[in-house]
Structures are given as structure tokens and as C-alpha cells.
Amino acid sequence: MTNRELSRREYLQAMTAAGLATLAGGAPKLRAEPVAHPKASADTVILLWMAGGMGAPDTFDPKRYTKFEVGVPVDKILSTFPSIDTVVDNIKLTEGLEHVAKVMDRGTLIRSHVVADLGNILHSRHQYHWHTGYVPPQTVACPHIGAWMARVLGPRNPAIPAFINIGQKLEGHGESEELKAFTTGGFFGTEFGPFNLPFPSDAVEAVKPPKGMTPERFAARHAKFKELLKASPVGEMATDHHHESMLKSIENAHRLLTSKERDAFDITKEPKASYDKYNTGRFGLGCLLARRLAESGARFIEVTTEYVPFLHWDTHENGHTTYARMKKEIDRPIAQLVLDLEQRGMLDRTLVVLASEFSRDMMIEGIPGSTARDQSRAKTDKLGELKHYGLHRHFTGSGSVLMFGGGIKKGNLYGETAAERPLVTTKNPVSIRDLHATIFHAMGVSPKTAFDVEKRPFYATEDGKGVPVLDLFAKGK
Amino acid sequence: MRSFLSVITFTICVAPVSAQPKDKQTDFAHEVVPLLKTKCTKCHTNGTYKGGVSFDTREALVKSKAVVPGKSAMSELHKRVVTRDADLRMPPGKAEPLTAKEAATLAKWIDDGLPWEPGFTFKPATYVAPLKPRKVNVPAAKPGLEHPIDRILDAYYTANKVTPPAQLDDFSFMRRAYLDLIGLPPSADEYYEQEGSLADLRRPALVRKLLNENRAYADHWLAFWNDALRNEYRGTGYIDGGRKQITAWLYQSLIENKPYDKFARELISPTPNSEGFAKGIKWRGEVNASQIVELQFAQNVGQVFFGANLKCASCHDSFIDNWKLADAYGMAAIIADKPLAVHRCDKPTGATASAKFLFPELGTIDTNAPKTKRLEQLAALITHPDNGRFSRTMVNRVWHRLMGRGIVHPVDVMGNKPWSEDLLDYLAVYFSDNGYDIKKLIEHIATSQAYQSKAVPLAKEIAGDGYVFRGPELKRLSAEQFLDAIWMLTSTAPVAKSGAFPGTLPPFPATTPKERQFIRVTLVDCDPLMRSLGRPNREQVVTTRPEQLSTLQALDLANGQILTTTLERGAANILKANPKATPDELAEWVFVRALARKPTEGERTAAKSLLGDKPTTESVADLLWAVVMLPEFQLVR
């Protein structure tokens, strides 16, 4: 047994039931029935979240390109970027993704991710669905997939929180409450919830003594707390589980705040050349932070481009210009992350997934025939000005997902979409449920893993019915 | 272990549009159970085992030799359902034989290896919770044993060979009663007044005094009701008017201690001010049929007022208890504006729901009456004098809040067996006989010796039927209690309530100590620290809060900016108010207010060495931190 495994075991013992959400029906327990877990091909997941709905035809699924010209009928337009070659013959991307194009031989591109059409489109509902595997509303608080990993697998290193969420502010914008609804440990409780780091550059603050407090004072304060505790006339109460688990949690927190692994959170410790490669903005630095945390032993890391209503990927007009900027932000850091993981010998055991809550189309809202309201903000029949170029209605009939490492096939293209509108999936559809099952499978967790919640089984994938897409894995897995 | 025996599958049915291939494995819960229930179990379960064949459990069925898992062709069960020989065929006699499709389902189930939900049994649970109230013959009083609760418990202790818990000292009692009843620790004056008194604390008088502090009482209990009624939350549903607050109505109801039956009637048959609860949350877009607002109403009424879980039954007949799809839809139809199409697992059954009360033995709802009339009828049935489930559920919640664990556990599963039926039934009748007066109920419990006993340390949480009551349990401070106590200790409460909180706040009674006159956590918007410590997103009904401190919460307490800043400000306030205090005096100042006791010698030494000779804002802040991190501070003992 390695030291790391040993410490993980100790950590799990130390956790007791701390932080379990107390539920209407009592705390959730792993179901007695054993499920057969697959052999893991990955130890860590890095989810690169394209928040706000990334349109595939202008990113990873190029279609017929139409240049901007005044007077062009908008329903003729499929892609607003020309396609580019990648290092894999049959995989083309759109202009602006040249760095990712160079690492496509390290992973798989899925073009057939089909998500549910929930009628009237609300980003946060689809994001809830993608992150928890369940369509809201639900009668119990569903855990984020990262919380599942934290609960079932635990941390790889007890000094690093198992589930880390990078880049998303949870306060101060229109749908922040909705984001909180799925950015959570759900019924597993906060022990398994996300460690939120909205600003990668400030991440180290989250594991340092509070602002204005020297490490010496911080250490002394903790020592005095222990002294007071020792002098405190607790008597027999010390044996109570509330009491005991409280002290364990306080010690766990203190260990994180004083461990040497804290350096992983400090991206200024990265050599300048490397830092600069990632520094395209918050998302790029988030990728750098994710790599450092993966190296130090995080279990599940999400890095988001950040969801703020009508920002970034959430565009309903002027999509072309916005996408040019977004691609600039994501292209180089993603490629660098893959290369860095490979160079460190970690890519084989680290699964990198890029996904979004749905795709977009110039003309169609939802899926063909959907009742969803047309939310384009610059409705027109013909291109008049640049803001008409990339109207980007929400589209659920197909979408792109990238996967690198963690046992996934290399240089592989999976699924297919129609050449002409509607750009629906024509081959090998992959649902959220099965995509989650695939991620769980890579991590060695059965998609049928279940916990008893209010006496009912609640499964890792919806109703326990997720089926991993085994075709996505390299042979031998 | 009864709770395990009735387990079966979950009810979340497939989402509205999922492009999933059909699962190949037999779905026991949805395909096999309904079939066995209609065709086999009448003669082969629950004590009746014709031909020695039992379907109670998978083990029993295999043992009966009726099936060979994996081999339908060799299984008697399969042979018997497909045979053309009327003497051998099952089900026998005039019963309708299985269709070819049903027989194929059974055969496939056997061939799949007889998959079964772990723990599931067709044998129903043995305990059936009574509906009607029951008057309990309380054992006779003895000297020193007058309170009816204690007389019932005395008999209970004897029967269960339990040594009654020892009584709590006055100061520990004070801290417990203050925190439980108004959510704050006692003020320093209140502490010193008792400390200087030669007489024992007059506990019943203290309980009454606290309950009479309407403002502090309402500020505290508001959190409990916001949780239960899904109120005070700004998320989903509010964007497009799919949700409505009831804060003004709720707060006023607490201030005036509205009788609980009237309170419930106003929620069910509402005014514009109280209709938010019944209206539920209308989500934008398509939702699963089991989550439409009408069924949310059924689920929430069931959970809040009856501790009945209709979540399963909103989708199909429940496998974990006896609630049926028709029960959930019957309740939903009461509030529906239009005829409500029944859906089973998100697919229409073709039937239209007709209004039906959960406990039809108490009365009926007129399906053809207008909606307001139906809701009036429902409100009357919920609060019907014969509806003991209504009063039992509420007294159990209050007992849980005060004692740390319900008489029925968990509090939302009122079908479970109470550890003392006498106590539960006695309290329920006491409650209804006293006009459903919640404060009176709290007073009754808080003046019992049981409430005034020392907490019992438990090495771990006891689940299941093995529980024996030995005394109150430790309770963790809620996010609101924890921060309120810190704000009171450090004079750092916000200066104004949230703009979203409606109306003006009533003044504090003149007798309320100054330290207690501040804006409480329930009156302001949730901040990240409150959220971290467990103030919930109220998308679901919440009736209990997390009992244990998690690592991430401890992290927020250790280096989070909100607590740090609060304590620094608080330290400055304390030094300003006590410019000449010695380290020793400061240590006592903090201990008395935080823990309702003076520091021990050892604690004085530790605190003094922390503070140094000349206390500074920094060192006082550090002392405050060390004290509020103590389990003694974070728990009600």
C-alpha cells in the first residue's frame, strides 16, 4: 500500500459522518447491495466547462462557412468561421482553435452529445441537469457529479479537497441562486461539496491565514484554541459524536491551511514561461490551477469559463465576434493543459472533459419542433450589421464534447451531425446520462452506484440506467 | 431494521426527453412488482403461503423452489403460468391468466437471475401509525414527579431499565433554554443576576419570560418555518413570478403566536398574503409530471403537516409505504384549476384525478365544488379534531427541536413507530386541547424534568428501532444561532434588515436586554458564510439541519473573511466598551457571554497568555475565535 493510499484511508476514517446533510429520512447510506465497479482508467477528472451554451458549428463541428456580407439571408448561414485542419485527418475544427487542433491526436472529439430539450430554455436548469445528471426540479437535493466522486472515491490526497470548482462567482448576478442549487454536495452534505475558487489568482487566499494575519499569529491562535479546549471542562461530552466530529473537521481544515500542498493553489509559483502560456484570462489561469491541483492530488476539478447571463458563450447576437474572443481564451490553455499532463506522465490517468449545457444554431431554438421561445436579440432575415452574424439560438439536437486522457481513445472522432440544418445528430447519440456513465466508468465507479435517500435508492446516473460508451475507450481498458 | 425491509426503488422517472436506448435488464420495480402484486401475492405473501410458496423476499422465493434463477424453463413458476392445464395454472381458478407479454416478462426476470431490490419485501411493515387522537392515562403523580411528561417517562424508564438522566445545573439550563426558545445565549446581566442570587433559578418562570419575548421568539423560529414552508429564497421561480413569498404573513403569525390549526388553515385555504406555500414553485419549461405545482402541493402538505412522504407516490404507487398514486393525485386535484390528467412515471394513464383527502376516513372533498371551496374543505379536514396525525406530527417536530431527536424518527416519517406511543399521544392531545398553542406546547415540554436533564453523550447516531430514550441529545447551533450569538457577543449585527424583508419590525419589549435588541440573521439576506454553515437553498422542504460540522465549514471558520472581519470588529467594540479591563476580566467577559459560565482556572491561564499583558484588537479577536470554535459554544448541551 502506498503512502498516499494509506493517508486516504486515514482521512476517510477521520471524516466520520461529518457534514452529512440531515435529510428528511435520515442521512444517506451507501446501499447494502454491492455493485460491480469497473477497473479505473483514471484517478482524476478535470472538467472544462463551457458555461452558457457553446455553439458547436462555430467551435468543434464546422459546417458550411459563409462569409459576412450585408444582405446574405441568415438562414443560409451554418458556420461563421472557416474550418481548419487538425493533426488528425478526419477531424476539422473552426478557425481560432489552432492549438487544440495540434493535440487532437491525444483525445476524442464527440460531436453527438444530445441533451434534453426542456421546453422553455433556462441555462441554469440545463446546467443543473448536466452537472447532477437529473432534470430539475427534484424532490431531493441532487449532488454535483464532483460530489459523487468525492463521496465515493474520497480525496487522492487528504490535504487537498476532493472536489474543487474554479472560476465561477456564486454571488452578484442574475442566476446565482440557480447556480448554487447544483454547485453543491446535495444530500451528501457539505463535506463532499465543492471547494469554490472563483478567481484563480486569488486561490491561494483560500488556503492561507485570513487577510492581515501572519502565519505565526495563525499558528499561535490554533495552539491557543487547543489549549483552551484542553482546559475546558467538557467531561463526558468529549465522547459524543457531534463533539468529536467537530474537532476532526477543525483539525482537517487546519491541516489544509498549514500543509505544503498549499503551494499548489499559488499560481504565481509557476515558472513565468509556463504561466504566460496559460495566461489568456481567468479561464486560462484556471486551467493552470487545475493542473497544479491535479498534480497535488485533487480528485475532481471543474474549470469554467463562468456563467453570467448574456456573457461569454451565452450570446444571442454578435456571436461571431464573441466567439473569436472566447476561442482565444480557451484554445491555448486547453492544449497546454493536455501537453503538460502528458509531459508529466499524468495524462494516462487524468480524464480531461470539455462540455457545455447545450449547443447553438443560427436559426433553431431548442430542437426542430421545440416550443421554446426564440430568444435571439437581433432577429433579422438578412445580414445587415456584424451583430447579426452569429445569432446563436440554443440548440439541443447535437453538441460537441472533448475528452483527453484517462483511457480514452486517441485521435478519435465519435458521432456525426447533419451537413445541413437542422444540424441534428445522425450517428451515435450520447446522452448526458451515458456521458456521465462513461466518466464514472473511467473513474472506476459503477453508474449503478446508489445511496439510500429517504429510503429510496438514488443512483449516480439517472435511475441507475447510464451505460458507458465503451467505444470511447482505448483497447485494453 | 424494519425501515430496510420496506425499501424499494426510486421514483425519478425518465426525464421528459431522453434519447436513451431501452435498458435490457429487467426493471424489477416497474415491470415485475406490479405484476406480482396483481397476480401472485394475494396467496403467496404476508402469512399466506399457499403450496408453501412465498414471494415475501427473493430468498424466500428461491427457497420455495418455485424458481431457478437464470433458468425460466426449469422454473415451476414459469411452467405454472404458461400451462394450458387449468388445474395446474397459476393464478388458479377463475383468475385471469397472465397474458403472453406478462409471462414473457416473468420469464425474462427469471432468466436475468431474478433481480430484486435489496431489502424489498412484499410483507408490509408491522407498525401502522394510528390516525385518531388517543387520550393517554397518565400514571399517577408522585412527590417530585408531577409533570405529566415525567410521569409517562418514569414508567418508560422503568420498563426499559433506564436510569433517568441527572438534572442540569442552572446556568447550563439557562443557556439551553435561551438558545432553544429564542435562539440566543443569555445576556451578561441575566447571567450575573442568577449568579448573585441565593435562590435556585425559577425555571418555569424563565421559560415563560422567554416565550413572552415575542420579537426574539419570532426572529428565531422564523428560520424553522422558512425551511419547512420553502419561504425566503430568491432562486428559481422568482425570475418569472412562479413563486411568492409569505414572509409578512409568517412573521406576523409568529409574533402573535397564531394557533397552529388556524395557521395551517390559512396556508391551505389562503389569503393573498399566505398563498405562496400552496402555490409552490412554477418552473420555466417542461418538468416531470411528478413535479407540477399541483403535486408539489400534495407532497409539501403531506410532508409538512403529516410527515408523510408522497414523493414516490407522485410518480407511481409507493414501494416504501402504502401511499398510492391516487393519493398524491387526489390531493393534487384539490388545488388544480383544471381537470388533472393522471400520469404514471411521466406517462398519461388516461384517467383524470378526482379530489381526495389523504385520510378519507375523516371526510371527503367535493370534486365538483369550486377550488376555493375544495381548499376550505381540505383545510377543515387537515385540522379536523379527529386528525391525530396533524397534532402528532407537530408535537414531534417541537420535541425534536428541543430534545435533539424526535419521539418518531426521522421527523418526516411519521409512519415509523414512536419510541413511546404514550408520550407522543399524550402531547398531541395536550396540544389540541390547548387550542394548538405552540408556545404553550413548548412551555409544557421545557418545564419537564426531561428537558431540564443533562444531555446524553452518544458515541454515534443511533438509527432504526433499537433507540431507547435516555435523555436529551446535543444539538448543533444552526447557522442563524451561531452567527446571532457571535453578533450579540461582539455587537456586530447589521444596522438594518434586508430590503427584501417586508414591513416594519415590531419594537422590542422594554424588558428585553439591550444586547438582545439587534437585527437577527433571519432578517437579512443569506451571505456566503451563512450558506456555508447550512442556511439552505429552499427548493425542497427542509425540516432538519446538518448536525455535524464539515471540513469545508471549518475552513470557512478558520480563514474565511466574513468571520475574521466580524471578530476583528467585535474585538475593537469590546475593547472600546472595556477600556480598563485586565486580561483576566476580559477572559471572564467573553466566557460569561459566550458560554454562560465563568472560565475555569486553566481556561483563565490559557486566555490570559493569549491576550498578553496588554490586550490588543488582534489578541482579543484571537480569543474570540478560540472560544467560538469550542464545541461547547457550537453545541447546545
Q: A195: nearest CA in chain B?
A: B552
A1 touches chain B (CB under 8 A): no
The DSSP code sequence of B382-451 is HT-TT-HHHHHHHHHHHHHHHHSS-SSSSTT-TTSPPS-HHHHHHHHHHHHHTTT-HHHHHHHHHTSTTT
pLDDT band of B21, cuts 50, 70, 90:
very low
The HSE-up count of residue A173 (CA atoms within 13 Å, CB side) is: 13
Chain CA centroid to CA B30, Å? 29
* pTM of the entire predicted model: 0.85
pLDDT band of B242, cuts 50, 70, 90:
confident
Pick the CATH number of A3-472 from 3.30.420, 3.40.50, 3.40.720, 3.30.1490: 3.40.720
B145 C-beta neighbours (distance < 10 Å), count: 15
Chain CA centroid to CA B335, Å? 24
Nearest-angstrom CA–CA distance, A461 and A282 = 31
pLDDT digits (tens, 9 = 90+) for A130-176: 999 999 888 889 999 999 999 999 999 988 999 999 999 998 877 88
Residues whose CB is less than 8 angstroms from the CB of residue B579 and which lie 6 or more positions away in sequence, other chains included = none
Residue B313 burial (CB < 10 Å; 0-12/13-18/19+)?
buried
CB B383 within 8 A of CB B391: no
Least confident of A298-302, B66-70, B406-410: B66-70
Nearest-angstrom CA–CA distance, B539 and B517 = 31
Q: What value does the mean pLDDT take over residues A367-392?
A: 88
A243 touches chain B (CB under 8 A): yes
- Widest CA span of chain A, in angstroms? 83
- What three-state secondary structure class fits B158? helix
Integer distance in angstroms from the first to the last C-alpha of chain B? 29
CB A228 within 8 A of CB A220: no
Residue located via cell numbers 414512536: B418
- What three-state secondary structure class fits B59? helix
The pLDDT of residue B590 is: 98
Nearest-angstrom CA–CA distance, A382 and A405 = 43
Q: B321: nearest CA in chain A?
A: A455
pLDDT band of A19, cuts 50, 70, 90:
very low
Residue B217 phi, psi (nearest 5): -60, -50
Q: With a cut of 60, say whether residue B32 has pLDDT above it.
A: yes
Q: Which long-range contacts (CB under 8 A, 24 or more apart) does B462-465 make?
A: B463/A26, B463/B3, B464/B1, B464/B2, B464/B3, B465/B1, B465/B2, B465/B3, B465/B417
Q: Give the residue among A135, A180, A143 at the shortest CA–CA distance from A163.
A: A143
The pLDDT of residue A27 is: 66
Q: Give the residue among B29, B111, B112 at the shortest CA–CA distance from B75.
A: B111
Residues 9-48 of A with CB under 8 A from B: 15-27, 31-33
Nearest-angstrom CA–CA distance, B634 and B632 = 6
Q: How many residues does chain B have?
A: 637
Enumerate the residues of chain A whose CB falls inside 8 A of the CB of residue B609.
224, 227
Enumerate the residues of chain A whose CB falls inside 8 A of the CB of residue B618.
217
Enumerate the residues of chain A whose CB falls inside 8 A of the CB of residue B605.
231
Q: B4: nearest CA in chain A?
A: A455
pLDDT digits (tens, 9 = 90+) for B282-300: 887 788 888 899 999 999 9
Q: Is the dihedral of CA A192, A197, A203, A206 positive or negative?
A: negative
Determine if residue B344 is left, alpha or beta; phi over 0 gives left, psi from -120 to 50 gives alpha, anything else beta: beta
Structure-block grid coordinates of residue B36: 406480482
Q: With a cut of 80, say whether residue B461 has pLDDT above it.
A: no
Q: With a cut of 60, say whether residue B87 has pLDDT above it.
A: yes
Residue B71's alpha-carbon distances to B56, B66, B112, B327, in angstroms, are: 20, 11, 9, 38
The DSSP code sequence of B186-239 is PPHHHHHHHHH-SSPP-HHHHHHHHHH-HHHHHHHHHHHHHHHTT-S--STTTT
Nearest-angstrom CA–CA distance, B303 and B12 = 18
Residues whose CB is less than 8 angstroms from the CB of residue B14 and which lie 6 or more positions away in sequence, other chains included = A462, A463, A465, B20, B345, B346
CB contact under 8 A, B540 and A26: no
Residue B107's alpha-carbon distances to A30, B35, B72, in angstroms, are: 30, 12, 5
The HSE-up count of residue B231 (CA atoms within 13 Å, CB side) is: 27
- What three-state secondary structure class fits A85? strand
CB A48 within 8 A of CB A354: yes
- Mean pLDDT computed over every residue of chain B: 90
Structure-block grid coordinates of residue B637: 448541551
Nearest-angstrom CA–CA distance, B186 and B488 = 10
Least confident of A352-361, A386-395, B220-229, B436-445: A386-395
The pLDDT of residue B8 is: 33
Check residue B22 and report its DSSP letter.
P
Residue A30 phi, psi (nearest 5): -60, 135
Residue B569 burial (CB < 10 Å; 0-12/13-18/19+)?
middle
The pLDDT of residue B127 is: 86
pLDDT digits (tens, 9 = 90+) for B423-455: 999 999 999 999 999 999 999 999 999 999 999
User: Is ipTM over 0.90?
Assistant: no
Residue located via cell numbers 471578530: B567
- What three-state secondary structure class fits A104? helix
Q: What value does the mean pLDDT take over residues B404-409?
A: 95
pLDDT digits (tens, 9 = 90+) for A228-263: 999 998 878 888 888 998 999 999 899 889 888 899
CB B72 within 8 A of CB B78: yes
CB A63 within 8 A of CB A79: yes
Q: What value does the mean pLDDT take over residues A349-357?
A: 98
Domain boundaries in chain A?
Answer: 3-472
Residues whose CB is less than 8 angstroms from the CB of residue A42 and which lie 6 or more positions away in sequence, other chains included = A349, A350, A351, A405, A406, A407, A442, A443, A444
Residues whose CB is less than 8 angstroms from the CB of residue B456 and which lie 6 or more positions away in sequence, other chains included = B165, B470, B471, B472, B473
Residue among A10, A31, A151, A246 with most chain B CBs within 10 A, to mutate = A246
A238 C-beta neighbours (distance < 10 Å), count: 13
Structure-block grid coordinates of residue A29: 447510506
Q: What value does the mean pLDDT take over residues B598-622?
A: 95
Structure-block grid coordinates of residue A286: 484556471
pLDDT digits (tens, 9 = 90+) for B122-134: 776 678 899 999 9
Q: With a cut of 70, say whether residue A269 has pLDDT above it.
A: yes
CB-nearest partner of B553 from A24, A33, A190: A190
Enumerate the residues of chain A whose CB falls inside 8 A of the CB of residue B175.
none
Residue A457 phi, psi (nearest 5): -75, 135
CB A393 within 8 A of CB A74: no
CB B7 within 8 A of CB B320: yes
pLDDT band of B418, cuts 50, 70, 90:
very high
CB contact under 8 A, B233 and A177: yes
Nearest-angstrom CA–CA distance, B103 and A86 = 55
- What three-state secondary structure class fits A473? strand
The pLDDT of residue B150 is: 98
Residue located via cell numbers 461529518: A18
CB B53 within 8 A of CB B28: no
Q: With a cut of 60, say whether residue B555 has pLDDT above it.
A: yes
Residues 133-162 of A with CB under 8 A from B: 134-141, 161
The pairing of strands A401-404 and A350-355 is antiparallel
Integer distance in angstroms from the first to the last C-alpha of chain A? 23
Enumerate the residues of chain B whose CB falls inside 8 A of the CB of residue A15.
551
Q: What value does the mean pLDDT take over residues B608-625?
A: 95
Q: Which residues pair with B145 in a beta bridge?
A: B142
Q: A32: nearest CA in chain B?
A: B118
A233 touches chain B (CB under 8 A): yes
Q: Give the residue among A311, A358, A461 at the shortest CA–CA distance from A127.
A: A358
Determine if residue A167 is left, alpha or beta; phi over 0 gives left, psi from -120 to 50 gives alpha, anything else beta: left
More confident residue, A148 or B82: A148
Enumerate the residues of chain A whose CB falls inside 8 A of the CB of residue B478.
none
CB-nearest partner of A33 from B118, B411, B531: B118
CB-nearest partner of A231 from B288, B412, B602: B602
